Homo-oligomer: A and B are copies of this chain.
Amino acid sequence: MSRNQKFSREQLQAAALALVEKEGLEGLSMRNLALALGTGAMTIYNYVADRAELEGLLVEAVMQEVRWSGKPSKDWRADVKEITHAMWAAARKHPQIIPLVVTRRSSAAAFLGPTEALLDALKRGGLKDQNLLIAFRTVSGFVTGIAQAELTGPLAASAQEDAKDVIARFESLPREKYPRLLEIAKAAGKSKPEKEFTTGLNIIITGLEKEFGLESRD
């Protein structure tokens, strides 16, 4: 709890973020981070208990960038869209860290804040208890799932590939074994992630209205 520490938690967070941005997740190690900060590896342990906590700091850094209006409007649908879009956009700005966001538990306020706001918007839509839980799981599953899939799903290009290579990958498979995959691989080349996200979310919101009998807009 002393105040004369060599670095601030924010400095550590920023250095870790910069390191991963430059060298990828594989480049993240206690030793590398210490090197970037001009100190010894063991110094990092004055700020985090272990590697898991260091990774938690990275998840927090991404979620801190989630920006939305911050107060409930009269339109719960618009609020759900705004908050989830902000989460998705923040994650997409840091593709290298998405696997950590998806995979590591976080109780950071930066993470729970947007989550609570999303839940509040769904609640204002008329949901509670079990149905609120299911709506939350469906929406947030979609958000994290689609963010991760853009990165490592079957339609995602690997480091060595571009969109044409992805198409070629499915074309080269024996006897056109995967005609539908080939079709959407082609569609994916002309597709915008933004449009995929917003349309997907609209599908879910419409589904919530119909399935849970919420007052509909049309």
Chain A interface, >50% SS class: helix
With the chains together, A148 CA to B158 CA distance in Å? 22
- A146 in contact with B138 given A132-B180, A183-B128, A199-B211 (CB within 8 Å): yes
Are B146 and A141 within 8 A (Cβ)? yes
How many A residues are at the interface, by size bracket?
A: 35 or more
Are B152 and A105 within 8 A (Cβ)? yes
Are A103 and B99 within 8 A (Cβ)? yes
From A122, which residue of chain B is reached at the shortest CB distance?
Answer: B180
- Min Cβ gap A177→B in Å is 8
With the chains together, A92 CA to B49 CA distance in Å? 31
The stretch from A3-11, A28-36, A39-47, A108-116 touching chain B is A108-116
Are B99 and A133 within 8 A (Cβ)? no
From A123, which residue of chain B is reached at the shortest CB distance?
Answer: B180
- A200 in contact with B134 given A116-B181, A206-B210 (CB within 8 Å): yes
Q: Which of B102, B153, B210 contacts A148 (CB 8 A)?
A: B102
The stretch from A14-22, A74-82, A184-192 touching chain B is A184-192
Q: Which of B154, B184, B206, B208 contacts A107 (CB 8 A)?
A: B154
From A179, which residue of chain B is reached at the shortest CB distance?
Answer: B116
